[in-house]
Structure 1
Amino acid sequence: MKYSICMVSDFFYPSSGGVEAHVFQLSQCLLAMGHKVILVTHSYGNRVGIRYMTNGLKVYYCPYKAFYKGSVLPTMFTTLPLLRHILIREQVEIVHGHSAFSTLAHEAMLHARGMGIKTVFTDHSLFGFADASAIITNNFLQVSLADVDHCICVSYTGKENTVLRASVPSHRVSVIPNAVDSAAFTPDPARKRQDRITVVMISRLVYRKGADLLAALIPLACRRYSQMHFLIGGDGPKRSMLEETTEKHHLADRVTFLGELKHSDVRDVLVQGDIYINCSLTEAFCIAIVEAASCGLQVVSTSVGGVPEVLPPDLIWLTEPTAQSLLSGLDAAVAASARPGLCSPWERHRRVAAMYQWQEVATRTERVYGRQSGQRRGAPPASRSRGTCPWRLCRASSWS
């Protein structure tokens, strides 16, 4: 059965990030499977109106401006006339909202439910329970998800978090991971410099992504390894602090800031590195470490949120979220690179390509759509036990 699907999120191209990549790749795969897919987001600068992307993906850049951290101002009803017109015009059967931070996604799902349209929500993030912002956000999320037909999380840790903070029954939440376009993220050993150890980090430079940890780590690592250099991609409010740190410790020639990167340029930066480091303080999945491993890099990451579920132990060094622990992870990665039995970059790529495929993600998402379209709300669907980590079960066709 083919569906008419409307993806909705405040976060989409030309912005870059994990949510943007997920929405685009999922839409492309669903189009290839014969479904009708449109996408609704807010305007980006002079990008307003209807645009067409790869394979005819129709994108509505609605004339709403970003209000806070890339999301539009929550108004509940001012978005109703335009969104209602789009849903009717495109004969939408399923509205699929993405990201708990996206105001537009929540309002679109609210309007869709009022029109009798099925709704699915994908949560890409983890939230706390104690601070004021988390309490307010969680209360709003409870209201928004109270009548959503089904929720999807990108990790089992994310599922537990969503069930607890949004009071969603567990049988209405499925786990479907992110994936990687393995054809686009391939190793290129010739791009690496043999006279240095290059550590790459590509991320938004904000507190949640561990920019402060990175600032503490860089002087320690450069002091221990005279041949170590850092390539830092991304932008954010913490960039000035990182630049001040490098100047203070006279490391300007060993730390390169690349600024905001297009997603199409990420692979060209990754293949220059030997080690990818993720300093995040919270992550539901972290697609960046999958892309890095697909490019053949060794991965060092903080063991937070859903990160331990993403890669098998021999492809990642997990650390505590402290500068000293991350330095120990770098030590382990550097020492391992000198051992002859180390997994080659192309072997890492082949393993990651077998674990994570967007076609698998789309197939499992299609199964969720079919379950909501073919069954009325009521008895919980057949579910599987939590089991082991996704990288051990990635090929199980029953996982959704």
Structure 2
Amino acid sequence: MISDFFFPQPGSGIESHIYQLSTKLIDRGHKVIIITHAYQGRTGIRYLTNGLKVYHVPFLVVHREATFPTVFSFFPIFRNIVIREQIEIVHGHASLSNLCHEAILHARTMGLRTVFTDHSLFGFADAASILANKLLKFSLSDVDHVICVSHTCKENTVLRASLDPLMVSVIPNAVVAEDFRPLGYPANPAENSVKTRGPLPPAHPLGPHETITIVVISRLFYNKGTDLLIAAIPRILAAHPNVRFIIAGSGPKAIDLEQMLERHVLQDRVEMLGPVRHEEVRDVMVKGHIYLHPSLTEAFGTVIVEAASCGLYVVCTRVGGIPEVLPQHMTTFAKPEEDDLVAATGRAIAALRSNRVRTDRFHDQVKMMYSWTDVAERTERVYKGISGALSEEEFYGSHPGGGWSATRGRAGVQGFSLIDRLKRYYGCGIWAGKLFCLCVIVDYLILVFLEIWAPRKSIDLARDWPRKKPIENGIVDDREDARFPASARVVRRRSGRDGWRDGRVVDPG
């Protein structure tokens, strides 16, 4: 897994997606490492939970944790890591991650399979989007498969990078529902099953004079709708005297938000918490009744799933992939306009006061809809498809007249020969195509030089984190475990869907 955006940077989107997906793939018996850039106080190699190894490469960060594009200088480090860890598939994340795009180029030059996951939506008219789309087209011209987090995101990515829709899969984000429980919800699932057996008792309606708390947790940037939020808050508070806001997050728009509070003298009704870590998000959410998400563009919106899991009624804008995320009874949609956002918030407040919305049921429903284990299984299927473990019919399904272009090879899986790669890049534009071909040729020459200057046999292989492969319930695992004598074997039994735990130690005799 490779991306510029990873922990300790605060965020619940790309960072959490990479971590949770990697952890679940490890639980399924795969070896996973993460490559990202160095953060303050965090360089070199770090080990996270479950033996997940993270390489923090010391590159210059230029804007919003994205590294400075170097194109070729990352190649020697990347090659060394790939050979040391015996990597077979490189999975990049995020359209604006330079490390991701460079890694896909270098991986294809080294003969590795590649996957790209797009987490964002981009336009087609402004200069920044045009440049980003051209960069994306460069990277995805030679990628084996693409994953998008929503169908809207898939449509956007296919148009931006001129992809065949058959080589793009939709695998959404998920949420660890146990980490986002409402107040009073039992931590023990068995206890919960006893308590919720049969029809739930009616929830207590909020009286006309009880305070309703609206929670906003977001990066305070323009695309997250902060300007819309600044305009809507005074009107919402003026129309509803018994409403208060809790706002968590940081960004360049924070100063505008603070100036609005001073101008309207709303400091006693709006609490600003500043940046919060992801593990603290639940503690903030359970203080509220409504979650307000005024984003102007969003591919998925993991935070609204977390809010619903905490038992909050969601008010959000109908943009991007947000309408795909939650069922209608959990959300009130608004146009990305000030008047409609104020009106939608008013409807949500009225629905809560009249007890028309059963937010006490949301957590169990979200838990059934989203699971990282399911995401890992679907991603694993993509890996098998591009590796040839699945046939073309199994992976892509039957498609009428569905031949693939001759330059793409079997079912869209890219060939590694240099001439085929140059054909794919050459079709990216009159001038851009020639530039891309030049980059590929230079990258190939650098690989030839590195193979001579630092041959593979001179690079030490890294030892894998000791672990056992997943086994079926009640089957004895014959692999050695460092914690027990070599003469003993460990019986491991399944503990829920998402993991394993060690059972009793038995003698081989």
Q: Calculate the TM-score normalised by the size of structure 1.
A: 0.91
2:332 aligned counterpart, secondary structure: strand
1:306 to 311, 321, 346: 321
1:10 to 4, 10, 23: 4
Distance 2:106 2:320 in 1: 32
User: Equivalent residues in 2 for 1:127-276 (5 A)?
Assistant: 127-188=122-183, 195-276=210-291
1:300–1:316 Cα contact (<8 Å) kept: yes
* Alpha carbons of structure 1 residues 189 and 244: separation in structure 2 relative to 1, 3 Å: farther
Distance 1:113 1:141 in 2: 15
* Cα deviation, residue 69, structure 1: 1.8
1:26 to 2, 21, 28: 21
C-alpha distance after superposition, 1:176-227 (max 9, x if no partner): 000000010000169xx99411111111000000000000011001101112
Residue identity in the other structure for 1:16: P
- Quick check: 336-345 or 43-52, which moved more? 336-345
* Cα deviation, residue 383, structure 1: 6.8
C-alpha distance after superposition, 1:134-174 (max 9, x if no partner): 11110111011100000000000000000001111111100
Any gaps of 5 or more consecutive residues in structure 2? 186-205, 401-509
Distance 1:360 1:211 in 2: 33
* Alpha carbons of structure 1 residues 377 and 207: separation in structure 2 relative to 1, 3 Å: farther
2:338 to 305, 323, 342: 323
Distance 2:230 2:398 in 1: 44
* Alpha carbons of structure 1 residues 162 and 306: separation in structure 2 relative to 1, 3 Å: same
Identity percentage of aligned residues: 52
C-alpha distance after superposition, 1:292-336 (max 9, x if no partner): 000000000000000000011111011000111111111111111
* Cα deviation, residue 384, structure 1: 9.0
Structure with bigger gyration radius: 2
* Cα deviation, residue 342, structure 1: 2.4
Distance 1:119 1:326 in 2: 41
Distance 2:311 2:304 in 1: 11
1:394: which partner in 2? none
- Quick check: 334-343 or 102-111, which moved more? 334-343
Matched residues, number: 377
2:163 aligned counterpart, secondary structure: coil
Distance 1:335 1:202 in 2: 22
2:366 to 352, 368, 380: 352
1:199–1:274 Cα contact (<8 Å) kept: yes
* Cα deviation, residue 378, structure 1: 8.3
2:3–2:93 Cα contact (<8 Å) kept: yes
Residue identity in the other structure for 1:44: Y
Residue identity in the other structure for 2:324: E
2:385–2:391 Cα contact (<8 Å) kept: no
1:97 aligned counterpart, secondary structure: strand
Distance 2:122 2:398 in 1: 25
1:74 to 57, 65, 69: 69
Distance 1:123 1:279 in 2: 22
User: Equivalent residues in 2 for 1:359-398 (5 A)?
Assistant: 359-374=373-388, 381-382=396-397
2:329–2:357 Cα contact (<8 Å) kept: no
* Alpha carbons of structure 1 residues 125 and 377: separation in structure 2 relative to 1, 3 Å: farther
1:14–1:44 Cα contact (<8 Å) kept: yes
2:308–2:363 Cα contact (<8 Å) kept: yes
Residue identity in the other structure for 2:232: L
Q: Calculate the TM-score normalised by the size of structure 2.
A: 0.72
* Alpha carbons of structure 1 residues 316 and 368: separation in structure 2 relative to 1, 3 Å: same
